[in-house]
């Protein structure tokens, strides 16, 4: 383009040439800059929130796993021990089992020594060698589970107080009446029935433990374990007189 200007009677011609393909560039406005920063902050906050949620969930999962594993370990220890309730070294030599031709009636009284209260189990068994037959115990003491795994010894903690709190410990023992077997005798009872004949009973022990994580009370876990006692129980007509069958 050519422009004509007059200054003091003189004509000045200015020529401005615009080259094709090139335009004048302008910077970002303050509004555009603020919008970009806001979008960046939103994206950053969303990423941080997502990462924080993943870390919290991962920590919760680790806590749940630890509580579950500790409960399982405690339940397994108790289950292995309770299976041996009433076991005696004399069983191998038939010293505690009545059989035809036995000179006297002998009983394994240890089969009866299984005492269950609301928060404690007391039991006996003969581990062999020179070890004492018990008593052995499990109990809930405050927020801990404790065990006495050798006669006249101190208590040992089964659960870690730094990991979880025991909120409930419920031991029970049941007799499976459907599996009871009447052992026949040569004679009927005095009332001409078989009610006084000895009965073979299958017993089961069940423990239920509930706990919550120490640092997160929302993490709660419960575990139950049922075991059959290896030393089954036989009830007799008259324990005091050692009467197994009617005379």
Q: Tell me how far apart the alpha carbons of residues 48 and 81 are, in angstroms, rounded to a whole number.
A: 50
Q: What confidence tens digit (pLDDT) does each residue in 56-100 have? A: 888 888 888 889 999 999 999 888 888 887 776 555 454 555 555
**What pLDDT is stored for residue 124 in this prediction?**
81
Q: Tell me how far apart the alpha carbons of residues 227 and 207 are, in angstroms, rounded to a whole number.
A: 9
Q: Is residue 246 pLDDT above 80, yes or no? A: no
**What pLDDT is stored for residue 187 in this prediction?**
83
* Section 215-221 average pLDDT: 87
Give the residue from 204, 200, 199 showing the smallest Cα distance to 175.
204
Pull the structure tokens for residue 54. Answer: 């993943």
**What pLDDT is stored for residue 192 in this prediction?**
87
**What pLDDT is stored for residue 103 in this prediction?**
47
pTM over 0.75: no
* Coil vs helix vs strand at 45: helix
**What pLDDT is stored for residue 181 in this prediction?**
82
Q: Is residue 11 pLDDT above 70, yes or no? A: no
Q: Is residue 19 pLDDT above 80, yes or no? A: no
DSSP for 55-118 reads: HHHHHHHHHHHHHHHHHHHHHHHHHHHHTTTT--GGGGGTTTS--TT-SS----GGGG-EEE-S
Strand ranges (E), 8-66: 10-15
**What pLDDT is stored for residue 104 in this prediction?**
47
**What pLDDT is stored for residue 166 in this prediction?**
93
* Section 178-187 average pLDDT: 79
Q: How far is CA 179 from CA 138, 182, 202, in A?
A: 28, 10, 6
**What pLDDT is stored for residue 5 in this prediction?**
47
Q: Tell me how far apart the alpha carbons of residues 175 and 96 are, in angstroms, rounded to a whole number.
A: 21
**What pLDDT is stored for residue 72 in this prediction?**
92
**What pLDDT is stored for residue 101 in this prediction?**
54
Q: Tell me how far apart the alpha carbons of residues 187 and 137 are, in angstroms, rounded to a whole number.
A: 41
Share of the chain above pLDDT 90, in %: 13
More confident residue, 116 or 221: 221
Q: What confidence tens digit (pLDDT) does each residue in 96-112 have? A: 555 555 544 445 555 55
* Section 145-163 average pLDDT: 85
**What pLDDT is stored for residue 241 in this prediction?**
54
- Residue located via tokens 């000045």: 12
Q: Tell me how far apart the alpha carbons of residues 99 and 97 are, in angstroms, rounded to a whole number.
A: 6
Pull the structure tokens for residue 118. Answer: 């609301």
**What pLDDT is stored for residue 186 in this prediction?**
82
């Amino acid at each position: 383009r050519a422009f004509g200007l007059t200054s003091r009677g003189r004509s000045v011609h200015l020529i401005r040439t615009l080259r094709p393909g090139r335009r004048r560039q302008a910077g970002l406005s303050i509004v555009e800059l603020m919008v970009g920063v806001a979008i960046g902050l939103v994206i950053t906050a969303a990423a941080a929130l997502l990462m924080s949620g993943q870390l919290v969930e991962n920590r919760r999962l680790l806590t749940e796993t630890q509580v579950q594993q500790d409960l399982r370990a405690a339940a397994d220890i108790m289950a292995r021990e309770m299976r041996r309730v009433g076991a005696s070294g004399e069983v191998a030599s038939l010293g505690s089992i009545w059989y035809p031709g036995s000179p006297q009636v002998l009983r394994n009284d240890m089969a009866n020594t299984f005492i269950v209260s609301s928060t404690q189990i007391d039991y006996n068994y003969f581990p062999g060698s020179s070890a004492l037959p018990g008593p052995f115990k499990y109990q809930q003491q405050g927020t801990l589970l404790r065990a006495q795994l050798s006669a006249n010894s101190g208590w040992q903690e089964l659960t870690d107080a730094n990991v979880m709190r025991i909120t409930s410990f419920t031991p029970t023992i049941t007799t499976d009446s459907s599996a009871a077997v009447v052992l026949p005798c040569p004679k009927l009872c005095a009332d001409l029935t078989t009610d006084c004949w000895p009965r073979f009973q299958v017993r089961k022990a069940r423990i239920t433990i509930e706990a919550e994580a120490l640092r997160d009370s929302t993490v709660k876990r419960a575990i139950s374990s049922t075991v059959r006692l290896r030393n089954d129980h036989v009830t007799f007509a008259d324990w005091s007189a050692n009467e197994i069958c009617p005379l």
